[in-house]
Amino acid sequence: MALTADDYRGLLQNLLPSGPAWPREPSAFVTRMLDAWAQEFARIDARVDALIEEADPRSTLELLPDWESMLGLPDPCAGESPTLQQRHAAVVAKLVNGGGQSEAFFVEFAQSLGYEISISTFRPARINEARCGDRCYGQDWIFAWSVDLPLTSVVFARINQSTIGEPLANWGNDVIQCQLQDLKPAHTVLLFRYLTEIFDNTVVDDFGHPVLTSDGYPIVI
């Protein structure tokens, strides 16, 4: 914690010789001169203290543009006006992203941006393996995988991560879709499936996911 001007004035006064020529009264000339120095020392101390926060990409404010410049951000996936929270999340995601192609890697990456997803993979239908009612996927489906996420993901604003004037929540999946398309292995095809609340009379597919209309609404009978 940074020292205040009063702290520094007291420290400076302790360095003075004793005697009537070196008064400690607030109105004394020596005290006022020391107070001027103490104000500057306190300002420098506060800036050094702030540097500790700025060195952490999760809390940086003044150095956020420098972090972004170093990491090639802001990312076009974040849109034209990303919030402070989204900018912090993008910086942290870039720093911790060591690369990977596993399901766990993509799930953790999405979580770092505030999204909850699950991943499904496919395999071609084979004799003696496929059962009656299974989908007859062709050979090319080994290169496909799908990300299952809510029809509308909500990322809420957080204390100490958002600023005045920003929305309390952001709706949509554009950011995570764009990010995952950039990260997916080049030889694969990424699909997105949107999950909605399932009722007793909702039509579902073989994976238990609701069947949606072209407008994105579940089919209910």
pLDDT in tens, 7-57: 999 999 999 998 888 999 989 999 999 999 999 999 999 999 999 889 888
One-letter identity of residue 37 = W
How do beta strands 189-195 and 144-150 pair?
A: parallel
pLDDT tens per residue, range 58-100: 888 899 999 999 988 887 887 777 888 888 888 988 888 878 8
**What average pLDDT is seen over the chain?**
82
Residue 6: Cβ within 10 Å count? 11
Radius of gyration of the chain from Cα atoms? 29
Q: Hey, where are the domains in the chain? A: 5-54
In this structure, of 125-129, 174-178, 214-218, the range with the lowest mean pLDDT score is 214-218
Q: Are 161 and 183 in contact (CB under 8 A)?
A: no
- The predicted model scores a pTM of 0.60
Residue 219 above 90 pLDDT? no
Longest dimension (CA), the chain: 104
| Residues 77 and 100 sit within 8 Å (Cβ to Cβ) | no
Q: C-alpha angle 107/110/112, rounded to 5°?
A: 110
Q: Which run of H or of E encompasses 145?
A: strand 144-150
